[in-house]
Structure 1
Amino acid sequence: MDERLQPLFTPWKIGNVELKNRIVLTSMGGTDLFGWMEKNHFDEAGARFILEVAKNNVGLVLPGCQPVYNPMFGQWLYKNKKMYRDLAAWMPKLHATGAKLFVQLTAGFGRSFTVSKLMEDLYTNPVLRRVSKPFMDLDRICATASPTPNRWSDKVPSREMTVEEIHEMVDAFRRCAVLLQEAGVDGVEIHAVHEGYLLDQFTLPYVNRRNDEYGGSFENRYRFAVEIVQAIKQACGKDFPVSLRYSVVSKTKGFREGALPGEEYTEVGRDMAESERAAKYLQDAGYDMLNCDNGTYDAWYWAHPPIYMPENCNLEDVEHIKQFVDIPVVAAGRLDPRVAADAIAAGKLDGAGFARQFLADQAWVTKLVEGRPEDIRPCILCHNGCFNMCHYKGVPNDQELTDSLGLSRCAVNAETMQWKKHRIVKTSAPKTVHIVGGGIGGMETARVLKLRGHEPVIHERSGELGGTFIAASAESYKGKLRDLLAWYRRQMDELGIEVRLNDEVRDVAALGAGPVVVATGARPKVMRSVPGHELMVEACDYLTGTPVGDCVVVVGGGLTGCEIAYELALQGKHPVIVEMKDDLIAQTGVCLANSSYLREWFALHEVPVHLEATLAEVRSDAVACRAKDGSTFEIPCDSVISSVGYSPAPIAPKGKNVYLVGDCKEVGNLRNVIWGAYETAMKI
């Protein structure tokens, strides 16, 4: 192991509970022990994930947040006693790993509840609203400190919680904590004065405008969180640890408006001055640890950093707040383990929190301990599998219901939280399987086939593996994607998979009668009806080295086009985005944390964006565009990049013993490619 990492593997204490090391799995919705958005029960999939992480050298594990009042079916978490007995029976397995378990309890979401189109329909139709109330009472679920707009929808507002409802919830925390203590759990974490969830909404001035004992003064705004820990300590004793998930600074400018790194702004939530006071106040109330990051749902990219956010984005603020408390402090948010170890060694931090990396590779800490960092399958911060709640103009959470109910899966690891569907089953009839195309889809197919006992052979027409992912990972900020590409190439070597480079297959019949997997990707769409279209640079060509000038028009404001414009701006060039839809990144599968960062970054840095505009003509020094009203306008420029999408380009149709994988089957994102490749490899 790298000696620099050693401070991460020293013991520490939370209250009287000693932990073997300072690695903390922080909670993610979907990894719950009592179910996620379903009737409460002991969840075997969540338990499997937690146990797998615990087996791999993690000191403290926190399952996904568990609402004390379940949004689905209106259940109180303390009422199903059987699941606590099931948890008690399971706890010896967890403790045998040497890890400790804190269960995270949440008051809920309030105005941050992710309203979908279906939920809007249920709420706005009086009949459906009444009929759906027993299993989804949106009026109760979305209630918050004061009447405020929902983060996702203008059609489902949040009303003010009653004092009786607050007291009922405080009592629910107490009851649940007692049952968890009796089940052998090592502590609880309260979720939270964090990320703009319900408890946090009570503390934030821009949400809480109450004039009773839960609003107004500093003490009143923090009263809800204080009453919870006091009730738990009274019931469970002072030695039962209670951690608090805590956002140091809200990083919020207003409703649905975050503050980007380095931006000068006026804080409407919790600023650092209040946080210095609040941290000590919450410690003195009884909390035994602060598990910290930054942000709210209005500034979601702080708590769920996309790849555009700087590494260790929350660390400086967490180190600062540690100076004001005597209890342990944990930091989370794009943490580099080595940087976290340095902070621990310097006494600036007590524990290091990691989440999504465990979805990509549950054994990544073990691989660090064993000195095998190159074997770690990296998280690429895409949110495509774990948290693809997306939102754009006029549309609430645009996410498939299966994704809403199945959080904490992983785009780069098809097995995570899908073990019943995606698992390696050895073949009883080994075959030689030819794979045409050595991109991510081809390599994932080959990897799974090899693990099953087949002999895959990759035919790649270029001189290197990677396909279009070479271009997709080319931008300066996409180091994690390049790490994933390196991981796949290493897997081909480690598994001894035959790879034939500079080997173009034109006819799959030449490969014999055995199974053939076609993974030849897609071809870019060309705007042939636009005069001068031949003057445009295709997006992948730009990403792989075709030079462009200073002022560059990017045609297409989807994710790829926006990421290219972002890269151009980082290089000091002057991009202009032209998009035919009424918002940027108006597409499913892209998490709001990712898309809102780019939209707000372009606004802050005054990158020109022309929405509801179409390309009319390309000239050597300008483009002509047509606005929604039919008028035309010109944009002077040096270069034009086309990013208007791709079309499948299989070299053969699907047929007997011919399988299509990846973009040559259907153009999608990396999750579609990897999961589809895995499933195809399991069929052969």
Structure 2
Amino acid sequence: MKYKNLFTPIKIGSAEIKNRFAMAPMGPLGLSDAQGGFNQRGIDYYTERAKGGTGLIITGVTFSDCEVEQQSMPNCPNSTFNPVHFIRTSKEMTERVHAYGSKIFLMMSGGFGRVTIPTNLGEFPPVAPSPIPHRWLDKTCRPLTKEEIHSIVKSFGDGAYNAKRGGFDGVEIHAVHEGYLLDQFAISMFNQRDDEYGGSLENRLRFAREVVEEIKRRCGDDFPVALRFSVKSMIKDWRDGALPGEEFEEKGRDIEEGLEAARLLVEYGYDALDTDVGTYDAWWWNHPPMYQEKGLYRPYCKMVKDVVDVPVLCAGRMDDPQMASASLENGECDVISLGRPLLADPDYVNKLRSGRLEDVRPCISCHEGCMGRIQEYSMINCAVNPQAARERVTAYEPICKSKKVMVVGGGVAGCEAARVLAIRGHRPELFEKSQQLGGNLIPGGAPDFKEDDIALAKWYERQLSKLEVPVHYGCKLSREDVLAADFETVIIATGSSPKVFSLGEDAHVYTAADVLNKEKDCGETAVVIGGGLVGCETALWLSQQGKKVTIVEALDKLLAVNGPLCHANKDMLEKLVPYRGVEVITSARVTDYQNGILTAESAGETKKIPADSVILAVGYKEENALYHELEFDVPEIYLLGDAKKVSNIMYGIWDAFEVANHI
């Protein structure tokens, strides 16, 4: 079989993993109950990924400290808050995971310190090794006392003991990684202490050393303890991270110190290093958006693997199995960690094993369903998979009677509705006015960094074909067409169209979709009007082609109205735009475009910008006329996707799933 090396067993400490796939730890927001145990959603969520073939499940972050850095409850599970309850709910989950031959590690956190996300963790006073600036808040952190460090270390031992009793096969420590509390102690920029926990590298790693020693003391030397580890910080300055390829002076942990730290940490007793790069100050490294290349951690994992003799895990957009297989072959890592790809498709591993790669639903690296929702609403989900972390409440509803359903529009909402209807046993037919499915995924996926948008459109095409859903292309239906057809239910998902306005010389004024679809040539110089997601990504794509691009935005900053955009995506795109040479003019009002000159007013000044073309990226308007022509004539009719309300891919898919699952 192809990729056979991905399906060979490996040991982490005493735990044998059946294949080379791990579920990467992701924030388990919404998966805990008020007593710090796993709720039903959490149990179903992790079990579903084990059922899908993943060899090692690593839970999202859990806490053991209840004294120093108190958490809002329920927030994340806590292994010491109510030990008996934690053990009971854990046992229920680990037994189900083990039924599928998978192993499961509990991720245990030393705390957030200066990087607490205020929307998730309440207003508790932030702590840190030293009085340093908080990452998000305008506050100075309070230094931990030695007694508090000892208290946290003891809680790790207690929590790991409870995890072992609850059936976990090991733990992963969170983390000398991403700038969390243990990492803040390990990095000299953050750790300015003059006691035994500060100064030399060994002293700065003392906290992490005491943690593994305490766990081994309580649980036995053969109880596996892995560590989430960032070999390099990518920090230019406080709250300022480096971009890929940028030359900069590392203010955090550099590679030389990172490799020495890796050696020491293994010497202290850690059984595996789950390796990446970055910190919260350079968040787009730890949570790579689509603007980062796939497999971005591989060279760093190789460096670590060359200096340690324990397994190295590698995550970071590793969903290309050819890349994953080559990484094992080339000695870059030992285990492939999949985070968001397992949110998008929990059956990824089984589909790969059985040669059904084309059926894997692609992750589009948008972060809107996972980190965006964690950041804003304290819950983990997935933009392209409405069932992620909601497996039980979104299970496919059985039907009493199969209905013929007309779906008008082949964007994500129409495709998702038709897919779900067919799976449940209804008989949908889809009518699309163009010659392809995908709607706004097609122009949106034109930049090379958005390739997974195109992959999602192709996935829908394949799924509807396999489900034998009739798809009629080139069909722009009228009210009469719909009423004359023999359907019991009608879904209108006719999408949206770009907003346009006249600037005078309109022959060279195009929509972003015109340019992205290569229907119009924007020339060598272009002005993009609108600094939202579409405008910024279009400008970035054109700048990569060597075009001179200016963004003119009416508001006072870029990306002001899109959301919930994860900070990793938003902050990276905001930095990439000027880094790639795109000029940005904010708080500006465009007046006209004549003789190749765009005129704009900004801060009381009139700006004249030469441009071969002007590209409008000022939003979309709902195409809902057909629905309103039909709403009083069709007894069961639904309006979905951008036709209902212009939004993002996630809400188009989610709304379609909700409606189609209850027809």
Q: Does 1:138 align with 2:124?
A: yes
Residue of structure 1 equivalent to 2:423: 451
Report SS of the residue matched to 2:491.
strand
Residue of structure 2 equivalent to 1:86: 89
Report SS of the residue matched to 2:429.
strand
CA deviations on 1:7-46 (whole Å, 9 max, x unpaired) are 11112111222222111111111278755xx541232212
Q: Does 1:342 align with 2:338?
A: no
Residue of structure 2 equivalent to 1:581: 555
Residue of structure 1 equivalent to 2:186: 203
Residue of structure 1 equivalent to 2:218: 235
Say what the alpha-carbon RMSD is for the aligned residues: 2.0
Residue of structure 2 equivalent to 1:316: 299
Q: Does 1:106 align with 2:80?
A: no
Q: 1:669 aligns with which of 626, 645, 648?
A: 648
Residue of structure 1 equivalent to 2:610: 636
Residue of structure 2 equivalent to 1:652: 627
Relative distance call for 1:263 and 1:497 in structure 2 (3 A) is same
Alpha-carbon offset, residue 67 of structure 1: 1.9
Q: Does 1:212 align with 2:195?
A: yes
Q: Does 1:541 align with 2:520?
A: no
Residue of structure 1 equivalent to 2:597: 622
Alignment of 1:229-308 (within 5 A): 229-308=212-291
The 8 Å contact of residues 535 and 618 in structure 1, kept in 2 or not, is answered as: no
The 8 Å contact of residues 35 and 85 in structure 2, kept in 1 or not, is answered as: no
Q: What is the one-letter code of the residue matched to 2:37? A: H
Q: What is the one-letter code of the residue matched to 1:539? A: A
Alpha-carbon offset, residue 89 of structure 1: 4.3
Partner Cα distance (1:215, 1:341) in 2: 41
Q: What is the one-letter code of the residue matched to 1:463? A: Q
Q: Does 1:439 align with 2:442?
A: no
Alpha-carbon offset, residue 272 of structure 1: 0.3
Report SS of the residue matched to 2:86.
helix
Alignment of 1:283-432 (within 5 A): 283-335=266-318, 336-388=320-372, 399=376, 403-404=377-378, 406-407=379-380, 409-432=381-404
Partner Cα distance (1:23, 1:160) in 2: 39
Relative distance call for 1:31 and 1:340 in structure 2 (3 A) is farther
Report SS of the residue matched to 1:108.
coil
Alpha-carbon offset, residue 200 of structure 1: 0.9
Q: What is the one-letter code of the residue matched to 2:540? A: Y
Alpha-carbon offset, residue 388 of structure 1: 0.7
Aligned residue pairs: how many? Answer: 646
Alpha-carbon offset, residue 600 of structure 1: 1.5
Residue of structure 2 equivalent to 1:678: 657
Q: Does 1:96 align with 2:99?
A: yes
The 8 Å contact of residues 31 and 46 in structure 1, kept in 2 or not, is answered as: no
Residue of structure 2 equivalent to 1:123: none
Report SS of the residue matched to 1:65.
strand
Identity of aligned residues (%): 40
Alpha-carbon offset, residue 197 of structure 1: 1.2
Residue of structure 2 equivalent to 1:130: none
Partner Cα distance (1:607, 1:519) in 2: 35
The 8 Å contact of residues 37 and 78 in structure 2, kept in 1 or not, is answered as: no
Alpha-carbon offset, residue 490 of structure 1: 0.7
Partner Cα distance (2:251, 2:571) in 1: 18
What 5-or-longer segments of structure 2 have no aligned partner? none
Alpha-carbon offset, residue 161 of structure 1: 2.1
Alpha-carbon offset, residue 496 of structure 1: 0.8
Residue of structure 1 equivalent to 2:535: 561
Q: 1:148 aligns with which of 102, 116, 132?
A: 132
The 8 Å contact of residues 427 and 469 in structure 2, kept in 1 or not, is answered as: yes
Residue of structure 2 equivalent to 1:169: 152
The 8 Å contact of residues 531 and 616 in structure 1, kept in 2 or not, is answered as: no
Alignment of 1:14-33 (within 5 A): 14-30=12-28
Q: 1:59 aligns with which of 46, 55, 64?
A: 55
Q: What is the one-letter code of the residue matched to 1:604? A: Y
Relative distance call for 1:157 and 1:512 in structure 2 (3 A) is farther
